Amino acid sequence: MTTRARPYHHGNLRAALLDAAERSIEELGTEQLSLRELARVVGVSHGAPRSHFPDRQALLDALAERGFSRLDATMRGAAETAGAPFEERLRATAAAYVAFAVASPALLDLMYAGKPSGDAPGSRNAAADVMSLVRGLIADGIASGVLAEREPERYAFLLFSWVRGIAALVTGGIVGRDAADELIADSVATFVRGSAPRLPAG
Amino acid sequence: MTTRARPYHHGNLRAALLDAAERSIEELGTEQLSLRELARVVGVSHGAPRSHFPDRQALLDALAERGFSRLDATMRGAAETAGAPFEERLRATAAAYVAFAVASPALLDLMYAGKPSGDAPGSRNAAADVMSLVRGLIADGIASGVLAEREPERYAFLLFSWVRGIAALVTGGIVGRDAADELIADSVATFVRGSAPRLPAG
DNA sequence: ACCTGAACACCGTTCAAGT
DNA sequence: ACCTGAACACCGTTCAAGT
């Protein structure tokens, strides 16, 4: 049996499409993503993607899903730097988020594009993922006395919004890649200083 | 001379297209914006927009341009609340930005979409607009002794990134419209507390 | 100067048919 | 179960022609 000129594809069309799609959105932007072009690149007919993704949006959702795993992994790795002091763990986690945003800006946008209140059963949202991680850090900060006793959720929203903003500035080219580290350090330092418990006696 | 059934349009096709376009991007998203649909809504042939905008992008650029004026006006109004203390002016200015983001999220995205280093002669960027305004506030904060002496640019980037992040959280539905005010107040208070000059003597 | 309408090359999506 | 290829209804853009 000879190998056909165009076999019934190379075994994993789904993954091939996702890989090609991720390259495409980062290079040309998500709006420019074309299913037909993707099919051409991967070497199948324009109807083939339909077997794996009911429509264009489904492919984008699957792309975001892969992003969740990756973002979660890098941030969790940074947050769990064993033994490091609170402020440094905070900085490392923030830096991991920003690094992801720089490496995959279009993908991150996609991850946020989903409705915040997960409608679909399998649908996640980047916000929920990041928030749960930040909550853990905050709890440590309060427990170790670095942060004043306060609703942890308020701290979490503060940090999350700040880091998201920093990522937006870097992604948008308003601050350079190196200035980002400074901005992160400044933000975390200001946060810790501004959230320190009031001196009990002097 | 009788009025024609379909006159050579109502005098200002350009403005009509922009108004219809702004409604459309906020309701359906910028990706969904269709020039042909716009022409239909406004009552002209599909080729007519060409007379005012060479292509789709040119219309989006013009839309962003209108956004700059409006954002600038509201923020400037808030920043110049005469006589108010620094922290309150800061809070009011941040609130004005977030309010704009809530009212016109798609438009704000468009304003950031432009290249940061203005390529085209008339091209502006939301970042430049906001930054110049924040710089003024910071100068006042340092002059009045509320902020420690430090590179003003660093303060400006901090504030700008934080406020942008807050706007992103509100726009994305992660925090509610009312929780936003709390988040703004918390951020500004933490900023002022964390950036206060070191007590000189005790 | 401004607008019309046909033409062109692209889309996403659907669906019967093939393997 | 997975893929092909024709068909359909949409796009943005171009351009000769009308007023």
Flag whether B202 is in a domain: no
Q: What's the pLDDT at A125?
A: 79
A108: domain CATH number is: 1.10.357.10
Q: Is the CB of B46 under 7 A from strand C?
A: yes
The helix or strand, by DSSP H or E, that contains position A93, with its residue range, turns out to be helix A86-103
Q: What's the pLDDT at B37?
A: 98
Flag whether A133 is in a domain: yes
Flag whether A200 is in a domain: no
B45 and B67 belong to one structural domain: no
Nearest to A112 by CA among B19, B195, B170, B55: B170
B110 and B171 belong to one structural domain: yes
Q: What are the chain B neighbours of A108 within 8 Å (beta carbons)? A: none
> What is the chain A residue with the closest CA to B157?
A183
Total domain count, chain B: 2
Q: Is the CB of A51 under 7 A from strand C?
A: no
| Beta carbons of A30 and A106 less than 8 angstroms apart | yes
Bases of chain C with protein Cβ within 7 A: 2-7, 10-16
Residue nearest to nucleotide D6 (CA to C1'): A47
Nearest to A184 by CA among B117, B140, A149, A176: A176
Each residue's pLDDT expressed in tens, for chain B with a length of 202 residues:
333 344 556 679 999 999 999 999 999 999 999 999 999 999 999 999 999 999 999 999 999 999 999 999 999 999 988 789 999 999 999 999 999 999 999 999 999 997 665 455 556 778 888 999 999 999 999 999 999 999 999 999 999 999 999 999 999 999 999 999 999 999 999 999 999 998 765 4
The number of C-alpha atoms within 13 Å of A25 and in the hemisphere containing its C-beta is 23
Using alpha carbons only, give the angle B105, B106, B109 rounded to the nearest 5 degrees.
90
Flag whether B201 is in a domain: no
Q: What's the pLDDT at A8?
A: 59
Closest nucleotide (C1' vs CA) to B34 is D11
Q: What's the pLDDT at B196?
A: 95
Q: What are the chain B neighbours of A166 within 8 Å (beta carbons)? A: 161, 165
B131 and B175 belong to one structural domain: yes
Residue nearest to nucleotide D15 (CA to C1'): B47
User: Three-state SS for A60?
Assistant: helix
Answer yes or no: do A186 and B117 touch at CB < 8 A: no
**Facing A168 at nearest CB: one of B164, B191, B195:** B164
Closest nucleotide (C1' vs CA) to A12 is D2
Q: What are the chain A neighbours of B193 within 8 Å (beta carbons)? A: 193-194
Q: What are the chain B neighbours of A116 within 8 Å (beta carbons)? A: 172-174
Q: How many CB pairs under 8 A join A and B?
A: 108
Query: Distance between CA atoms of A63 and A171, rounded to whole angstroms?
Result: 19
Query: Distance between CA atoms of A110 and A127, rounded to whole angstroms?
Result: 12
Q: What are the chain B neighbours of A117 within 8 Å (beta carbons)? A: 173
d(CA A9, C1' C7) / Å: 37
Flag whether A202 is in a domain: no
Query: Distance between CA atoms of A5 and B80, rounded to whole angstroms?
Result: 71
Can you list the residues of chain A whose pLDDT is less than 50?
A: 1-6, 118, 202
Tokens describing residue B81: 């609340």
Q: What's the pLDDT at A4?
A: 39
Flag whether B162 is in a domain: yes
Query: Distance between CA atoms of A171 and A36, rounded to whole angstroms?
Result: 29
A84 and A12 belong to one structural domain: no
d(CA B34, C1' D11) / Å: 8
Flag whether B58 is in a domain: no
Tokens describing residue B142: 């340092």
B30: domain CATH number is: 1.10.10
* DSSP secondary structure of B107-148: HHHHHHHS-SS--STT---HHHHHHHHHHHHHHHHHHTTSS-
Q: Is the CB of B4 under 7 A from strand C?
A: no
| Beta carbons of A166 and B165 less than 8 angstroms apart | yes
Length of chain A measured in residues: 202
Predicted structure pTM score = 0.92
Flag whether A27 is in a domain: yes
Phi and psi at residue A118, to the nearest 5°: -45, 105
Query: Distance between CA atoms of B75 and B95, rounded to whole angstroms?
Result: 9
Residue numbers of the domain that contains B180: 63-194
Using alpha carbons only, give the angle A125, A129, A134 rounded to the nearest 5 degrees.
140
Closest nucleotide (C1' vs CA) to B8 is C3
pLDDT in tens, A10-48: 679 999 999 999 999 999 999 999 999 999 999 999 999
Q: What's the pLDDT at B1?
A: 36
